[in-house]
Amino acid sequence: MERNFVRDVSHLPTHGHGPSNLTWWGTIGFILIEGFAFVLAGFTYLYLMMQFQHWPPGMPPPELLWGTLMTVLLVLSLAPNVWAKRMAEREDVPRSRIAVLVMLAIGVLTLVIRWFEFTVLNVLWDSNAYGSIIWTILGLHTLHLVTDVGDTAVLAVLILTKHGKDPRRLGDVTDNAMYWNFVVAAWVPIYALLYLLPRAV
């Protein structure tokens, strides 16, 4: 087949930020998937709620302290998270390193709080359907916390070593920051469902 060279692409850059990256799109794809799983889990929660006369059925709702603390911490963590993203986009390696470490510390802290959250649910997963769904939703969210903390930890190792010079690592920081935004965004409605709704009905 004859060729007809019409354009040279050799001047194009080899990495970009945000939507021009493949990874960004991949992350968005998985956020869509997981976000929809959260939405369906929320629907399941409401569906099961309709099966009960009282909600929660015969036990106090989860205690507010740890869940509220979690909400506050997650919402506040958006600030360093956005900062991390901005630093990475500016390719400011030293500040990005600090930001990643801060986010790692916050991530570990959320896991600690989550541990205590599980202890004050006032119900076990095998007590009834109410217990099952709140343990599952909380577990699903914890899974996201754990993976994101693990992700951040690996990223921290990379960015603090020689790999940190690679601008792609900074791209990873922005993607990681985006994912954390998702984790926070998913939590707020979950908090409302698990902690506030049972008190309102």
Q: By C-beta, is 71 or 176 nearer to other proteins?
A: 176
Q: Which stretch binds other proteins (CB under 8 A): 64-72, 103-111, 119-127, 187-195?
A: 119-127
CB of 75 to other proteins, least distance (A): 25
Q: Which of residues 134-193 bind other proteins (CB under 8 A)?
A: 135-136, 150, 154, 158, 163, 166-169, 171-172
Q: Which residues contact 87 (CB under 8 A, 6 or more apart)?
A: 95, 96, 99, 173
Instruction: Please give the Cα distance from 7 to 177 (Å, whole number).
Output: 36
**Residue 162 CA to its chain's centroid (Å):** 27
The residue count for binding other proteins (CB under 8 A) is: 63
CB of 121 to other proteins, least distance (A): 14
Amino acid at site 5? F
Q: By C-beta, is 6 or 200 nearer to other proteins?
A: 6
Are 103 and 77 within 8 A, CB to CB? yes
Q: Which stretch binds other proteins (CB under 8 A): 71-79, 92-100, 107-115, 126-134?
A: 126-134
94 makes contact with other proteins (CB under 8 A): no
Instruction: Please give the Cα distance from 101 to 135 (Å, whole number).
Output: 30
Instruction: Please give the Cα distance from 159 to 93 (Å, whole number).
Output: 8
Instruction: Please give the Cα distance from 126 to 145 (Å, whole number).
Output: 23
33 makes contact with other proteins (CB under 8 A): yes
Q: By C-beta, is 62 or 171 nearer to other proteins?
A: 171
19 makes contact with other proteins (CB under 8 A): yes
Are 109 and 69 within 8 A, CB to CB? no
Q: Which of residues 34-93 bind other proteins (CB under 8 A)?
A: 34, 36-37, 40-41, 44, 47-48, 51-54, 57-58, 91
∠ CA 125-128-132, rounded to 5°? 35
Tokens at 33, concatenated: 């998937």
Q: Using CB under 8 A as the criterion, which residues of the chain lie in contact with other proteins when the complex forms?
A: 1-16, 19-23, 25-26, 29-30, 32-34, 36-37, 40-41, 44, 47-48, 51-54, 57-58, 91, 125-133, 135-136, 150, 154, 158, 163, 166-169, 171-172
